[in-house]
Amino acid sequence: MSDSLFDTFAFGDTTLANRIAMAPMTRSRTSQPGDVPNAMMATYYQQRADAGLIITEGTPISAVARGYSMTPGIYTQAHIDGWKKVTQAIHAAGSKVFVQLWHVGRRSHASIAGEQPVSASALKDPDQVFGPLPEGGFGMIETQTPRAMTQQDIDNTIADFVQAARNALEAGFDGVEIHAAHGYLFDTFLRTSSNQRTDQYGGSQENRMRFLLETLQAVSDEIGGHRVAVRVSPHVMEGFAESDPEIVEVVLKALEKMTPMKLAYVHFSENISRHVEVPETFRQQVRKVCDLPVMVAGKLTPESAQQMLDKGYADLFAFGTPYVTNPDLATRFRHGWPLEGFDADARLTLYGGDQHGYIDYPTYSA
């Protein structure tokens, strides 16, 4: 009998009720001032806790790491206390939860982060993020040219990730997922188009993966590799004007070096923004070089996820926008119940606002 999406799955000391994950999605619903997680967020996540694993929205590790307004932090005591409400609600509903630790790098603006954004190099691509508008209110604003990180910036950032991981455990999370995808900080170090450094973090493939690997090792040393995951997107060009001919090779080499860390899982984000299809040969290469659980996200269906599971290409399957409008998504999948579509109105309520389009979607009624 083959494995099913609805079977339990274990990694490290964590056992999931099923192989379905809720993918991280920015929703910008924090309490102000301070970007503090609140009771409405706890309700939102608890409603969706039929997923075996919930991965929170991207959570900045520091003020300078922030690139979207009203996203919940993990670097103050108020943040920790706010997240405790969320983790308790999720655990009470029977699910597990990892917090996605986030540094957006150049995908930001001083009006959001409080200072000039930082990146691998002082290079900007046309890009927009959710931030304060000059005329008041919030909307999409153009990002700002970053400055190249110094060695001190890199050291400070690694320390910030370690502290954020400590804070996450205090807040009750089962683990952390380090965001190294979508043109954010680590992704700009990995790619040749955004990394023109001449120090130990630039040039060769080994140098370009160094910052991410050092961060993963430091966080793993602090809280245990079985509580640390990483998200990458080698087949997605979000945040970049051009593709990188070396990114797939660099990611595969990095995965090989991650294996001894015994991480919780590696999470591939696919089929969003500008992207290329992922060939089966890549999935085979991942299994060859990396002995870690694999999660895949990106316009999956239960059928395509099950096919990937049957072929042995992945262990966990993350669903994003379907969870916006279907809080009981895993239950609907299990019973073959119809889904509520993700329409234009749902898209308009993704960022900011109140409970409308956030916690007012009903569960299925037969």
CA distances from 19 to 26, 68, 259, 294, 346 (A): 22, 30, 21, 11, 26
- Could you tell me the two tokens for 157? 């950032």
- Could you tell me the two tokens for 131? 């931030």
Q: Where are the beta strands (DSSP E) in 249-315?
A: 265-269, 294-297
Q: Strand, helix or coil at 282?
A: helix
Marked catalytic residue, from 44, 184, 201, 323: 184
One-letter identity of residue 350: L
Question: Any idea which residue has 């008041």 for tokens?
Answer: 136
Number of Cβ within 10 Å of residue 18's Cβ equals 22
Active site residue 265: no
CA distances from 184 to 129, 175, 216, 239 (A): 12, 21, 16, 7
- The DSSP H or E segment spanning 211 is helix 210-223
Q: Where are the beta strands (DSSP E) in the chain?
A: 9-11, 14-16, 20-22, 53-60, 96-102, 118-119, 128-132, 138-142, 147-148, 175-179, 228-232, 265-269, 294-297, 316-319
| CA gap 14, 10 in Å, rounded | 6
Q: Is residue 305 a contact partner of residue 9, using CB atoms and an 8 Å limit?
A: no
Q: Is residue 182 a contact partner of residue 169, using CB atoms and an 8 Å limit?
A: no
| CA gap 14, 173 in Å, rounded | 11
**CB-count exposure of residue 337 (10 Å: 0-12, 13-18, 19+):** middle
- Could you tell me the two tokens for 232? 């990458």
Instruction: Give, to the nearest 10 degrees, the angle between helix 151-170 and helix 77-92.
Output: 50
Residues marked active site are found at: 184
